[in-house]
C-alpha cells in the first residue's frame, strides 16, 4: 500500500474550521484547499467529527450528567453584600494601607497623605464625567418621581427613515406596526426599558447595567427651544446590544430627546411631542431637523498635523515602535503601511475591542497616523469545498512520535514535552516574523535615509526580537538536544555565514533557518508529515537549530554595531 | 451579569464534573466563581472575555476542590453504564452504540486533550482555552487536532 500524501496545511484544517487561524494563514489554507482534493476530503471528515462532538456534548454530557443538585442561588443578594464590603474599603484606605503597615516614619506618612490628596483630586477630576453623569441621572430620576407624568406621546425616528409615535409611560399595548415591533425587539435585546424609553430612569437603569462604559456630559442647545441650553449625557458601552446612548435634559431636568445607537449600526431617535402638537402617527415626510445629539467631534489634532505635510518613513517607524512597546507587533493582526501620505494602521480582525483601543491609544499622539481597523470581525464561514470523498488517510501515530513516546517514558510525558517545545516555538516564531517584517520594510537603502536617532530606534526594535529569539531557541535546544541525541541525532556542520553587509540580509537568513526549524519541530512531534526519511529527522533538527543560532549571532552582530 | 450566570452556569457546572468534582461541590464552585467575577469587575478589573474568565477561574478552583476531596473518589458519572443500559427507548440502538464508542474514545484521551476538547465544546476560543489550562494557543490547537484524530479513528472502526 502506498503511503498517502499529506500536506502541511492538513495540520491547520481544524484551526481553519474553528476560525482560529491568523488571517494570513487562513488565506493560505483556503488557497491550498482550492487546489487540493485530498485536503478538501480531509476537511469534510473533520467537519463530520466535529458534528459528532457536538452530538456527544448534547446527548452524553448534557443528556446524561446529573443536573445540579440544588436550585441555583439568587446571586443578587450576594452582589449587594459585595458592594457594601467594597464600599467600606475606600480608595483612601486601600492606598494608605501599605504606608501604615510598612512601618514607615511619620514624615513619610504625612508626605504620603499629602500626595494622596493630590492623587485623589486628580482622580476626582478624571472621574468627573462619569460622576457627573451618575449625579445628573439621580437628580433627574428624583425630579421625575416628584412629578409623575401622565401618559404622553413620543416620536420615534429610525435609521430606516421611518417615523412613528406612541404613548409612553404605559405598558406597551399590542403593537401592530411592523417597524415598531422591530424597534421594540431592539430595545428588548439591549435591556432598555421599552415602556418609558425617554426617561431618566430608563437611561439610568441601562447605564447602571453597563460594566465598562465611558460617559461624557456636555451643554447643548435645547432641541425644543434652541435659545435655551440643555444638558446632554452620552454613554458608550463596551458590551451589550446598545453601543451608545445619549439623552438630553432641559433645564428642569426633564428628558427631551434621546438617541440610541445599536451594535448593528441601527439607530433610533426619540423625542417628546409637545401636547399642542398636531402631528399624527406615522407622519411620513416630516421634515426632521438633525439635532446635535452626538458627542462633539474629538478635539482636532495639534498643529503639527497640518494638512499638506505627509507622512515619512520616519513617521512609520515611530508608529511601529509604539506598537512594539505594547507587543502589538507580535501575533496581533495589525498592519502598518505608508499610504496616501499617511501612516495607515489597519487590520484588527479577531482582536478584542479593549486591545484595539489600547493599540489606538498607543499611536494616538503620533503625527500622520490614521487607524482604520476592519469594523466588525465577521464570523469565519469556511467556504463550501466540494467533497471528493474517495480519499482516506491512515491516521496512525507517526513512527517518530511513538519513538519519542518510548524515549520519554509515556504518552503523558510526550504531551508535556511537545507542549513545552511548542510554547517556545510559538514565541520564537512570533519574534522571527516581527524581525522579518522590519527587515522587509526597512531596506538598507531606506535605512540610509533615516536620522541616526531613528536608525537606533529601528536597531533597538530589531535587536529586541533577535534577543528573544536567541533566548527561546537556546531553551528549545536545552530541551530538545538530549532527546534528539538519544534518538541518534548528531549535529551536522553549520553552513558558514555568508559575508553580509547589513542586518537585513542576515535577518533574511534567520527567517529561512527559523522556518526550517519550525517545519522540523512539527514533523518530529508528529504534527506534520515528513518529506524525507523520518530516521534523519533528529539530525536534521539539530543541524537546523545550530544553523539558526549561527544566523542569529550574525544578525545580532550587525545590530550591535 | 445575571444573564451570563443563567447562560453559563450549567456549562461550567458540567465542565467541573468532567474534572471529577462531585455535583454539590461543583455547584457551589460555580456560584463562588460568579461572585468572584462580580467582585473583580467591581474592582475595575478589565476582563476581555467573561465566559473565558469564568471557565479559567472555575478550572483552577475546581482542581483545588478536587484536591481537597482527596479521600473521596473522583466523581464518575458512569456514562458507560448509562449509555449501555437497556430500556433507553428514545435513542436508537445504533446511535447509542456509536455514542458509547465515542465516549470510550473520549475517556481514552490524555487529560489535556480531554480538557481542551471539553472547553472547545463549550465554545471557548483557543486563546481562552490556552489561558484556562496555562498552555499556548498553538498547543491547544495541537491537542485538539490529535483528540479529533483519535475520535475519528474510533468512529471509522
- Interval A416-445 mean pLDDT: 84
Q: Å from B91 to nearest chain A CA? A: 10
Non-local CB neighbours of A374 within 8 Å, separated by 6+ positions: A346, A347, A348, A349
pLDDT category of residue B117 using cuts at 50, 70 and 90 = very high
A20 — pLDDT class (breaks 50, 70, 90): confident
pLDDT digits (tens, 9 = 90+) for B87-106: 555 556 667 778 888 888 99
Taking an 8 Å cut-off on Cβ atoms, the answer to whether B152 and A15 are in contact is: no
Q: What is the CATH number of domain A313-380?
A: 3.30.1340
Q: Give the chain A residue nearest B151 (alpha carbons).
A: A49
Mean pLDDT of chain A: 75
Cβ-defined contact of B42 to A86 (cutoff 8 Å): yes
Contacts of A199 (CB under 8 A, 6+ apart): A144, A168, A169, A193, A255
Dist. CA A508–CA A511, nearest whole Å: 5
Looking at residue B27, its pLDDT comes to 93
> Which stretch of A220-234, A284-298, A512-526, B22-36 has the lowest confidence by average pLDDT?
A284-298
Residue B136 has pLDDT above 60, yes or no: yes
Rounded mean pLDDT of A311-333?
A: 84
Cross-chain Cβ contact B136/A419 below 8 Å: yes
What are residue A128's phi and psi, to 5 degrees?
Answer: -45, -55
pLDDT reported for residue A113: 53
Of B13, B48, B153, the CB nearest to A68: B13
Which residues from chain B sit within 8 angstroms of residue A57, using beta carbons?
121
Lowest mean pLDDT among A260-269, B53-62, B109-118: A260-269
Report yes or no: B105 at the A interface, CB cutoff 8 Å: no
More confident position, A550 or B70 = A550
pLDDT > 70 fraction of chain A, expressed in percent and rounded: 73
Is A151's Cβ below 8 Å from some Cβ in B?
Answer: no
- In the prediction, which pLDDT does A221 show? 83
Q: Do A426 and B141 touch (CB under 8 A)?
A: no
pLDDT tens digit string along A348-363? Answer: 766 677 788 888 999 9
CA–CA distance, A132 with A142 (Å, rounded to integer): 15
Q: Report the pLDDT value the prediction gives residue A512, as an integer from 0 to 100.
A: 84
- CB contact under 8 Å between A59 and B13, yes or no, is no
Q: What is the pLDDT of residues A369-412, one digit of tens each?
A: 888 876 543 333 333 333 322 222 233 456 777 788 888 887 77
The interface residues of chain A toward chain B in range 515-534, judged by CB-CB distance below 8 A, are 525, 527
Average pLDDT, chain B: 85
Contacts of B13 in chain A (CB under 8 A): 68
Lowest mean pLDDT among A174-178, A337-341, A421-425, A471-475: A174-178
Say whether residue A189 is in contact with chain B using an 8 A CB cutoff: no
pLDDT in tens, B69-82: 755 677 877 776 66
Query: In this model, does residue B13 exceed pLDDT 50?
Result: yes
Residue A536: its pLDDT value, please?
A: 81
Provide mean pLDDT across the span B31-54: 89
Residue A8 has pLDDT above 80, yes or no: no
- A330-341 per-position pLDDT tens digit: 766 677 887 778
Q: Model-level pTM greater than 0.90?
A: no
Question: Which pLDDT does position A459 carry in this prediction?
Answer: 93
Are B126 and A60 a contacting pair at CB < 8 A? no
Task: Tell me, yes or no, if A378 comes closer than 8 A to chain B by beta carbon.
Answer: no
Cell numbers at B71, concatenated: 479521600
Q: Between residues A348 and A75, which one has the greater pLDDT?
A: A75
Report pLDDT for A504. Answer: 92
Chain B neighbors of A50, CB-CB under 8 A: 148
Chain B contact for A11 (CB, 8 A cutoff): yes
Burial B69-86 (b: 16+ CB within 10 A, else e): eeeeeebebebeebbeee
Query: Would you say B58 and B16 are in contact if contact means Cβ atoms under 8 Å apart?
Result: yes
pLDDT score at A281 = 39
Percent of chain B topping pLDDT 90: 33
Contacts with B27 from chain A: Cβ below 8 Å: 68-70, 72
- Residues 44-83 of chain A with CB under 8 A from chain B are 45-46, 48-50, 52-57, 59-62, 64-66, 68-70, 72-73, 75-76, 78-79, 82-83
Q: In chain B, whose CA is at the least distance from the CA of A71? A: B27
Is residue B83 over pLDDT 80?
no
Is B157 strand, coil or helix?
Answer: coil
CA distance B77 to chain A (A): 6
User: Which tens digit of pLDDT belongs to each residue from A50-74?
Assistant: 988 888 888 888 888 888 988 888 7
- Picking from B77, B121, B147 by the largest number of A CB atoms within 10 A of its own CB, the best residue to mutate is B121
Q: Which residues of A touch B83 (CB under 8 A)?
A: 60, 64
Which of A302 and A534 is assigned the larger pLDDT? A534
- pLDDT score recorded for residue A174: 52
Tell me the mean pLDDT in the region A229-239.
Answer: 87
A497 touches chain B (CB under 8 A): no
Q: Between these two residues, A158 and B116, which has the higher pLDDT value?
A: B116
- Contact call for B126 and A64, based on CB within 8 A: no
Q: Is B114 on the interface with A (CB under 8 A)?
A: no
Q: What is the pLDDT of residue A295?
A: 32
| Helical pair B50-68 and B126-133, crossing angle rounded to 10 deg | 30
User: Is A49–B121 a contact, with Cβ atoms under 8 angstroms apart?
Assistant: no
Chain A residue at shortest CA distance from B114: A53
- A426 contact residues in B (CB cutoff 8 A): 136-139
Cα(A506)–Cα(A473) distance, rounded to whole angstroms?
Answer: 17
pLDDT at A410: 79
pLDDT digits (tens, 9 = 90+) for A264-282: 778 899 988 765 444 443 3
pLDDT score for A108: 56
Contact A533, A454 (CB under 8 A): no
Band of residue A230 on the pLDDT scale cut at 50, 70, 90? confident
pLDDT of residue A89: 59
Check: CB of residue A11 under 8 Å from CB of residue A29: no
State the pLDDT at residue A378.
36
DSSP H or E run through A249: strand A242-249
Q: A512 or B30, which is more confident?
A: B30
Using the Cβ of B104 and the Cβ atoms of chain A, whether some distance falls under 8 Å is answered with: no
pLDDT tens figures, A505-539:
999 889 888 888 887 887 787 665 555 667 788 88
Q: What percent of chain B has pLDDT over 70?
A: 88
Domain borders along chain A are 8-62, 76-129, 147-295, 313-380, 399-559
Distance to chain B for A356, nearest Cα, Å: 11
Question: Which pLDDT value is given to residue A157?
Answer: 87
pLDDT reported for residue B87: 56
> DSSP string of A368-386?
TEEEEE-SSPPP--PPP--
What is residue A444's three-state secondary structure?
helix
Q: Do A68 and B38 touch (CB under 8 A)?
A: no
User: What pLDDT was estimated at residue A219?
Assistant: 80
Of A41-45, A408-412, B142-146, the one with minimum mean pLDDT is A408-412
Find the helix packing angle between A37-55 and B111-121, rounded to 10°. Answer: 80
Please tell me the predicted confidence (pLDDT) of residue A123: 41
Find the residue in A nearest to B85 (Cα). A64
Residues of B in contact with A352 (CB under 8 A): 48-49
List % helix, strand, coil for chain A (3-state, nearest 5): 55, 10, 35
Q: Does CATH place domain A147-295 in 2.50.20?
A: yes
Q: What local confidence, expressed as pLDDT, does residue A28 receive? A: 87
Predicted confidence at residue A91, as pLDDT, reads: 52
**To 10 degrees, the CA torsion angle through A139, A140, A146, A152?**
180
Contacts of A46 in chain B (CB under 8 A): 148, 152
Q: Does B84 touch chain A (CB under 8 A)?
A: no
Residue range A326-331: mean pLDDT, rounded: 80
C-alpha cell read off for A355 = 486591545
Quote the pLDDT of residue A308. Answer: 45
In this structure, what DSSP letter does residue A234 have?
A: E
Would you call A84 an interface residue with chain B, using a CB distance cutoff of 8 Å?
no
Amino acid at each position: 500500500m502506498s503511503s498517502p500524501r499529506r500536506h502541511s496545511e492538513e495540520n491547520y484544517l481544524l484551526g481553519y474550521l474553528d476560525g482560529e487561524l491568523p488571517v494570513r494563514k487562513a488565506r493560505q489554507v483556503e488557497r491550498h484547499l482550492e487546489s487540493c482534493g485530498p485536503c478538501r476530503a480531509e476537511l469534510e471528515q473533520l467537519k463530520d467529527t466535529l458534528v459528532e462532538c457536538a452530538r456527544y456534548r448534547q446527548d452524553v454530557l448534557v443528556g446524561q450528567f446529573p443536573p445540579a443538585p440544588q436550585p441555583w442561588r439568587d446571586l443578587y443578594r450576594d452582589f449587594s453584600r459585595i458592594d457594601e464590603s467594597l464600599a467600606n474599603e475606600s480608595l483612601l484606605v486601600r492606598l494608605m494601607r501599605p504606608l501604615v503597615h510598612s512601618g514607615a516614619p511619620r514624615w513619610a506618612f504625612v508626605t504620603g497623605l499629602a500626595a494622596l490628596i493630590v492623587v485623589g483630586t486628580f482622580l476626582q477630576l478624571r472621574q468627573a464625567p462619569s460622576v457627573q453623569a451618575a449625579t445628573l441621572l439621580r437628580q433627574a430620576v428624583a425630579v421625575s418621581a416628584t412629578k409623575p407624568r401622565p401618559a404622553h406621546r413620543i416620536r420615534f425616528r429610525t435609521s430606516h427613515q421611518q417615523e412613528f409615535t406612541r404613548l409612553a409611560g404605559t405598558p406597551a399595548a399590542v403593537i401592530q406596526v411592523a417597524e415598531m415591533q422591530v424597534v421594540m425587539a431592539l430595545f428588548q435585546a439591549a435591556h432598555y426599558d421599552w415602556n418609558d424609553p425617554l426617561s431618566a430612569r430608563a437611561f439610568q437603569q441601562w447605564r447602571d447595567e453597563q460594566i465598562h462604559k465611558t460617559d461624557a456630559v456636555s451643554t447643548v442647545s435645547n432641541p425644543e427651544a434652541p435659545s435655551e441650553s440643555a444638558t446632554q449625557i452620552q454613554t458608550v458601552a463596551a458590551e451589550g446590544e446598545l453601543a451608545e446612548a445619549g439623552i438630553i435634559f432641559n433645564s428642569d431636568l426633564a428628558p427631551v430627546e434621546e438617541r440610541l445607537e445599536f451594535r448593528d449600526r441601527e439607530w433610533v431617535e426619540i423625542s417628546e411631542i409637545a401636547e399642542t402638537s398636531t402631528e399624527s402617527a406615522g407622519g411620513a415626510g416630516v421634515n426632521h431637523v438633525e439635532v446635535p445629539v452626538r458627542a462633539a467631534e474629538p478635539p482636532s489634532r495639534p498643529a503639527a498635523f497640518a494638512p499638506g505635510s505627509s507622512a515619512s518613513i520616519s513617521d512609520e517607524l515611530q508608529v511601529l515602535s509604539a506598537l512594539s512597546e505594547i507587543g502589538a507587533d507580535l501575533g496581533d493582526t495589525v498592519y502598518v503601511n505608508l499610504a496616501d501620505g499617511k501612516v495607515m494602521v489597519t487590520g484588527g480582525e479577531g482582536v478584542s475591542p479593549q486591545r484595539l483601543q489600547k493599540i489606538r491609544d498607543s499611536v494616538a499622539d503620533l503625527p500622520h497616523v490614521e487607524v482604520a481597523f476592519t469594523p466588525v470581525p465577521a464570523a469565519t464561514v469556511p467556504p463550501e469545498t466540494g467533497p471528493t470523498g474517495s480519499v482516506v488517510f491512515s491516521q496512525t501515530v507517526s513512527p517518530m512520535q511513538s519513538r519519542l513516546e518510548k524515549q520519554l517514558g509515556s504518552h503523558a510525558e510526550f504531551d508535556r514535552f511537545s507542549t513545552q517545545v511548542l510554547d517556545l516555538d510559538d514565541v520564537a516564531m512570533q519574534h522571527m516574523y516581527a524581525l522579518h517584517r522590519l527587515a522587509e520594510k526597512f531596506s538598507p537603502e531606506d535605512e540610509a535615509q533615516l536620522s541616526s536617532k531613528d536608525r537606533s530606534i529601528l536597531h533597538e526594535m530589531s535587536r529586541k526580537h533577535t534577543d528573544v529569539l536567541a533566548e527561546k531557541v537556546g531553551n528549545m535546544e536545552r530541551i530538545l538536544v538530549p532527546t534528539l541525541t538519544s534518538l541518534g541525532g548528531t549535529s551536522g556542520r553549520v553552513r558558514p555565514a555568508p559575508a553580509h553587509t547589513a542586518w537585513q540580509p542576515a535577518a533574511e537568513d534567520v527567517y529561512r533557518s527559523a522556518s526550517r526549524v519550525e517545519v522540523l519541530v512539527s514533523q518530529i512531534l508528529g504534527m506534520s508529515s515528513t518529506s524525507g526519511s523520518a530516521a534523519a529527522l533528529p539530525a536534521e533538527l539539530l543541524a537546523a537549530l545550530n544553523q539558526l543560532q549561527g544566523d542569529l549571532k550574525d544578525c545580532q552582530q550587525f545590530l550591535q554595531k | 451579569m445575571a444573564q451570563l450566570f443563567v447562560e453559563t452556569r450549567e456549562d461550567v457546572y458540567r465542565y467541573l464534573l468532567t474534572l471529577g468534582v462531585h455535583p454539590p461541590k461543583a455547584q457551589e464552585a460555580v456560584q463562588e466563581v460568579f461572585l468572584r467575577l462580580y467582585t473583580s469587575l467591581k474592582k475595575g478589573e478589565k476582563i476581555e472575555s467573561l465566559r473565558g474568565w469564568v471557565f479559567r477561574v472555575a478550572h483552577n478552583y475546581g482542581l483545588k476542590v478536587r484536591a481537597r476531596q482527596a479521600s473521596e473518589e473522583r466523581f464518575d458519572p458512569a456514562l458507560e453504564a448509562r449509555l449501555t443500559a437497556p430500556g433507553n427507548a428514545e435513542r436508537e440502538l445504533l446511535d447509542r452504540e456509536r455514542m458509547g464508542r465515542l465516549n470510550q474514545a473520549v475517556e481514552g484521551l490524555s487529560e489535556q486533550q480531554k480538557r481542551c476538547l471539553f472547553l472547545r465544546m463549550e465554545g471557548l476560543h483557543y486563546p481562552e482555552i490556552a489561558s484556562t489550562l496555562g498552555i499556548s494557543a498553538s498547543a491547544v490547537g495541537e491537542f485538539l487536532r490529535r483528540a479529533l484524530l483519535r475520535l475519528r479513528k474510533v468512529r471509522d472502526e
